[in-house]
Amino acid sequence: KEINWSILIQIWDLLSRMLGTWGFSNRETFQNLDPFETMPYMASIQQNGIHQCGGVLIADKWVLSAAHCATNSSNSSLNVMLGAISLSKPEKYKIVVKVLREIPHPLYNSTIKHHDLLLLELSEKVTLSPAVNPLPFQNENIDISAGKRCLVAGWGQMRLTGKKPDTLQELWVPLISRDVCNRRNYYDNEITANMICAGESRKDSCEGDSGGPLVCDGIAVAIVQGGFRKCGNPTKPGIYTLIEPYKSWIMESMYNATLQSNPSPL
């Protein structure tokens, strides 16, 4: 089929302005803060008004999350909440937008959790503001040093058996080298070149944080995938799906979806 170059140029122009170059008591809560003072890119993916997963706003109509958060339904029943600190309390900047289309990575395997990425096309473009704003994602193959501390956030569990918080939480976690994470007492060679590990004892992403971004130097470098059942285990840190290896899939998926929504006249 013939490429609609005008649509492609519009998408590229939008992304080129936004792309970058490259649960526990220790977590901090953002009570009494406005979203623009914290993380205006954070998304709560909800089904029937209940938080299921995190996500990151990457364009005015697109959220990136984890494929295991998909509903696997032809008619998406998901909504995305943006501009929120509290999931339940009224807030000045909070908006809820219906998900028009779920696009899991075509190679995602729910058994081995490879290629665990999901694109969500929103039903309408959101009005960008200091409280609702996309986050650049890594689009160059730049190695990030082990030990670097990066930011993860979400509405996930504070403790293994505890309830999920109502307010957004943040945590700085150290990156762990792939060699270390693939040791037998860690994940025994399960971590591929498209994954990264991060976390330490009692500092980890947890259930409900899946799909949220791992942010290093203001750039989304990975998406929360999962980890060991007991969050905060020092030899079973959080596992994240790197974004950079999938940049072409992200661009092509957005382009194709835009074509479907805006077909060229005959």
- Parse the chain into domains and list their residue ranges: 5-19+40-134+245-261, 149-244
User: Percent of the chain having pLDDT more than 90?
Assistant: 58
Check residue 110 and give its pLDDT: 83
The pLDDT score that the predictor gives to residue 23 is 42
Spatial separation of the C-alpha atoms in residues 218 and 138, rounded to whole Å: 10
Q: What share of the chain is helix, strand, coil (3-state, %, to 5)?
A: 15, 30, 55
Query: How confident is the model at residue 53, as a pLDDT?
Result: 94
In terms of C-beta density within 10 A (0-12 exposed, 13-18 middle, 19 or more buried), how is residue 1 classed?
exposed
Same fold, 5-19+40-134+245-261 and 149-244: yes
Per-residue confidence (pLDDT) for residue 260, from 0 to 100 = 84
Q: How far is residue 218 CA from its own chain's centroid?
A: 14
Q: CA 56, 59, 63: angle at the middle one, nearest 5?
A: 35
pLDDT of residue 215: 96
**Architecture of the domain whose range is 5-19+40-134+245-261:** Beta Barrel (2.40)
Q: Output the pLDDT for position 258.
A: 86
Q: Which fold has domain 149-244?
A: Thrombin, subunit H (2.40.10)
Residue recorded with tokens 């977590």: 27
Catalytic residues: 68, 116, 210
| Tokens 């994954």, located at residue | 195
Question: CA 165, 168, 169 angle in degrees (round to 5)?
Answer: 85
Residue ranges in the chain whose pLDDT is less than 50 = 12, 16-26, 28-32, 228, 266
- What pLDDT score does 72 carry? 74
